Chain A
Amino acid sequence: MTAYLIQRLLSMLLSLLGVSILVFWMVHLIPGDPALMILGERANEAALQELRQQMGLDQPKAVQYARFLSDLSRLDLGRSFRTKGLVAEEIGWHFPPTAELTLAAMMFATVFGILAGVISAINRGGFWDFATMFGALAGVSIPIFWLGLMLILLFSHQLGLFPVSGRLDALLDLEIERQTNFMLLDTLLAGNLAAFADAVWHLILPAITLGTVPLAIITRMTRSSLLEVLNQQYITTAYAKGLSQWIVVGKHALKNSLIPVITVIGLEFGYLLGGAILTEHIFSWPGLGSWLLKAVEARDIRPIQGGVLFIAALFMSVNLIVDLLYTYIDPRIRVPSATV
């Protein structure tokens, strides 16, 4: 197990090195002079020169890459040129809102997705099967942007049930010290239950918006995987022994059908952690996605590099965790020994 972990971590490191090369050159290959992007209409030769020099853009590319790598080896992601802030700090600030939103969205998608999948499978061909599959099809095809706006219009504007956007009421927020920038955690740390409830309230609509596509995918995956398992002989045996449907599905079939579902959940989770730009945009959610988008728009090199590396590392870690989860779900799957 340990050997396997070490091997996986080493290969992760290697992949990250590959990502660093890729992201470094991509940033330099996309058109648009970073200095010019900052100066805009007002750019003149003197100002451009000065800025390029300050940004280190006048150095040869190889020198720039070497400096980038040497900083990286000291875990220093550099400073943003736009905001002058440390990239590591900015990631530390913008990741918690994204993580919070992703967790909420995936919780919503997993619970309701598996439930809907099971209902659909055991009613195969019936009305509920048809209804959930129709819902799932709608779910994967719905434009997130439109869905988010509609939810806001209906539930916040017309019915007044939810706040429109943001993470916490602006005045309540003044009482909360942002220690971690995980809002649920910070409000609890402050011992302010009203603020905690308000933070949960703010989380619901964006989580539904972000979770809808994964919800649909999980539903379909659960259904098809469960159907496959239900066709196996041991299930027939179980029914023949006179076990109730609840026991058969809940105890014998479901766990065995979860492997592909976990794979999908892991992939979606890793993907969403990289930031959900559209959802963040609609709900004024200050997450990693919109932060990175701003950096790209401004050709702010260091945040782009640091942000992409961070997201890649995150994605790989989630994948590793999913792989380890397999062995728990299905004991037949063994962690390969390092020599293989």
Chain B
Amino acid sequence: MTKEQFKTKLRHLRYRGAKKANRSRGVDFLLGLFLAILGIFMILPIWYVIISAFKPMNEIFLFPPRLYVAHPTFDNFTQLMQILENMWVPFSRYLFNSVLVTVVATVGHVVVASLAAYPLAKHNFPGKNIISQIIVLALLFTTQVLYIPQYIISAKLHLINTYWSLILPVVQSTMGVFLMQQFMGQIPVSLLEAARIDGAGEFKIWWSVVMPSVKPAWLTVAIFAFQNIWNQNGNLYLYNESMKVLPSITSQVQAGGIARTGAASAVMLVLMIPPIVFFQCTQKQVIETMTTSGIKE
């Protein structure tokens, strides 16, 4: 298979049309209804955050609460700004910390995971199978489960109160290696052989042959890492106020009680926009990558 054929195959996979046959209209309708009800359940809380962010104070405390905004206002955002201005550390500092940690972790994870995935997918070496099996098993253990043990190790390595304590656990996550390895499995060996005959070394092949053809996979791995670290409040690891990240201010705003419902919604809205936009822009590539996510044995 040439590179072009490989790409066509991927494109073909991406746009498999719906398989309509032997469908009854009644069942179509019922399934659509079921989907719609569940969809409302999913979207309602998010919708509630969006409207609360734009509601003036008197509408927030209306009984019963409305599902729309009569007089949209930016008051909550102004109030949020005021709260943030009165904080000991300027808002820009939290933003800087969050962006720094997120960018380093996401880029680091994509590079480290794809570098490890290439030999696992395409080379033969002793220990390959056992490592692959450990990866599948380790998918079970997320940061939530490893919380305390990881904390103990980070403390022993004197990583507490450094950005690394947030970054490194994300960089090493197995999900990225697993997805990359699966996706790279589809790359035709002939493509790699051709590069080898041209005298390219393995690192060169990884960078200039493998990486360009697994673009969907690294976008997917990037979005997983991004959403993982962007949403972490880091409260356990960073106690120095000037090093804290954005989600940690959410709890500070929320701690102001019910009068801050509007401001709290505003901050939640601001925080949820980046991952949602990032995902929607890369959704096609994400789904394409997930096609190969199955566990085969």
Question: Do A and B bind?
Answer: no
Question: Which chain A residues have a beta carbon within 8 Å of chain B's beta carbons?
Answer: none
